[in-house]
Amino acid sequence: MSGKPTVPAPRAASAPYGPCVLLKHGEVFLKGHNRHRFVERLHDNLRVALRGVGGSTWIKSAQNVTVLGGQVPQEALVERARRVIGFNSVEPAIRVPSTLEEINRAAVEALRAVSADRPGRGFAVRVKRRDKQFPLTSSRMAAQVGARVLEEVTGLHVDLTRPDVLLTIEIDRKETYLSWTRHPGVTGLPVGSSGRALVLLSGGYDSPVAAHRAMRRGLACEFVHFSGAPYTNPSSVYKAYALARELNRYQPPGRLHVIALGKAQKQLAVVGAGRLQVVAQRRLMVRTASALAARTGAQALVTGDSLGQVASQTLANLVAVDEASDLPILRPLIGWEKQEIIDEARSLGTADISILPDEDCCQLLAPPRASTRAGLPHLRAVEKRLDLDEVTEALLDHIQVMLPGEEDGTVPAAPASCTAPAPV
């Protein structure tokens, strides 16, 4: 994955008055003396998300807020910003000079449009003064603007307890921002601020949600998918590609590494893994993923495991898998229920991909009754019958790398044929 984005920083000094977008900082706001580094990262990620938006853009920093604008429709900016991890809210706004007259005028115009759209609504005005030099206190300013709106706009009434429309006015020294719509942002830490991880991405619901959770804790993610090739068709690879592309909309794009595990799975079966087949395969996956991470600079693996969800995810089996990895395995969904995971996958946009049928490598050669308590001595005994270093090397030698979501991302090759699993 590329490190720092190479997008030139837009110039904010000449930011014009007019429509813009306010991005309220999430957890970054809690950071102490190194907060500026988190904010820089957040802005880098925002610039990457704005690539190809169709016009020039600018970014400006205020206290715990980023202001975004440009020669691009406001909705397009909102759309891009809503996917950048680290903002609590994304608010379309108007930027005006900090004078009473300009603020009043903008407030009247804004609420006139709101009223024309749907008359009969209750409104309230809330003022925040970041500049305490401003001549009126916040509450007096709110009352004054409210009175002016009532005078000039028909079809609205004041409702201070449960307003349908809350006009927020944020006054800085030179400029003031007015907003009345608030979209929730993807909260969390800026992607990349916690380091880099390699996500084991299957075609199911769980691993994409786990990846997103990892990103939300500041991890820049690359992905590795194990297919059952040459014994399965490439449907699982297509799914992994589509999932990684969807996930890459939330971060500066991370690569997808595809590894054909089929032959190695067969080798495990041939040496008699039996009921340990699934855990032995999972150990091989994390062993290989650790070796890959060493090459790509990832500091941890991430999986979609949830304790007890299936036989391979009992505590004993998770411990057995951990032992095969050189890197810590992070499991963001360990305490999640399946329904919670599916609900989150739906809101992320990955559920529609995960639900598609595929030929998954884990089903290949799965024993009728998988062991729920794979003992380490047994696993090691099975693995000893193979040269694991050689197996891992061979897997890494034939790795396929793609960059889903980038124009130059290679698309997986079309299937030559769909080979059925060979009998062992």
Q: Note the residues at the interface with ligand ATP (CB under 6 A).
A: 200-202, 204-207, 225-226, 285, 303-305, 309-310, 312, 360-362
C-alpha dihedral, 15 to 86 to 25 to 88, nearest 10°: 110
How far CA 223 is from CA of 11, 128, 362, in Å, comes to 34, 43, 17
User: Closest separation between CB of residue 309 and Mg ion, Å?
Assistant: 5
User: Closest separation between CB of residue 204 and Mg ion, Å?
Assistant: 5
Give the residue at shortest CB distance from Mg ion.
206
User: Closest separation between CB of residue 360 and Mg ion, Å?
Assistant: 11
User: Closest separation between CB of residue 206 and ligand ATP, Å?
Assistant: 3
* By the rule CB under 5 A, 91 interacts with Mg ion: no
| 57 contact, one of ligand ATP, Mg ion, none, CB 5-8 Å limit per kind | none
User: Closest separation between CB of residue 301 and ligand ATP, Å?
Assistant: 9
- Give the closest residue to 383 by CA, choosing from 288, 258, 309: 288
| 225 contact, one of ligand ATP, Mg ion, none, CB 5-8 Å limit per kind | ligand ATP
User: What b-and-e string marks burial along 76-86, b requiring 16 or more CB atoms within 10 Å of the CB?
Assistant: bbbebbbbbbb
Whether the CB-CB separation of 18 and 95 falls below 8 Å is answered with yes
User: Closest separation between CB of residue 204 and ligand ATP, Å?
Assistant: 2
| 265 contact, one of ligand ATP, Mg ion, none, CB 5-8 Å limit per kind | none
| 207 contact, one of Mg ion, ligand ATP, none, CB 5-8 Å limit per kind | ligand ATP
Q: Rounded distance, CA 216 to CA 244, Å?
A: 15
* By the rule CB under 5 A, 383 interacts with Mg ion: no
Nearer to ligand ATP, 168 or 325 (CB): 325
Q: Rounded distance, CA 234 to CA 412, Å?
A: 8
Q: Rounded distance, CA 310 to CA 325, Å?
A: 20
Nearer to ligand ATP, 154 or 363 (CB): 363
- Please return the burial class of 277, using the count of CB atoms within 10 Å of its CB with bins 0-12, 13-18 and 19+: buried
* By the rule CB under 5 A, 206 interacts with Mg ion: yes
| 360 contact, one of Mg ion, ligand ATP, none, CB 5-8 Å limit per kind | ligand ATP
User: Closest separation between CB of residue 304 and Mg ion, Å?
Assistant: 5
Give the residue at shortest CB distance from ligand ATP.
204
| 400 contact, one of ligand ATP, Mg ion, none, CB 5-8 Å limit per kind | none
Cross-strand bridge partners of residue 196: 220
Whether the CB-CB separation of 196 and 330 falls below 8 Å is answered with no
- Rounded to a whole number of angstroms, the CA Rg of the chain reads 26
Mind spelling out the 3-state secondary structure of 31-75? CCCCHHHHHHHHHHHHHHHCCCCCCCEEEEEECCEEEEEECCCHH
Positions 3 through 62 that interact with Mg ion (CB under 5 A) = none
Nearer to ligand ATP, 192 or 204 (CB): 204
- Give the closest residue to 336 by CA, choosing from 209, 204, 215, 184: 209
Tell me, what amino acid is at 407?
E
User: Closest separation between CB of residue 227 and Mg ion, Å?
Assistant: 17
Q: Total residues at the site for Mg ion (CB under 5 A)?
A: 1
| 226 contact, one of Mg ion, ligand ATP, none, CB 5-8 Å limit per kind | ligand ATP
Given the rule CB under 5 A, which residues bind Mg ion?
Answer: 206
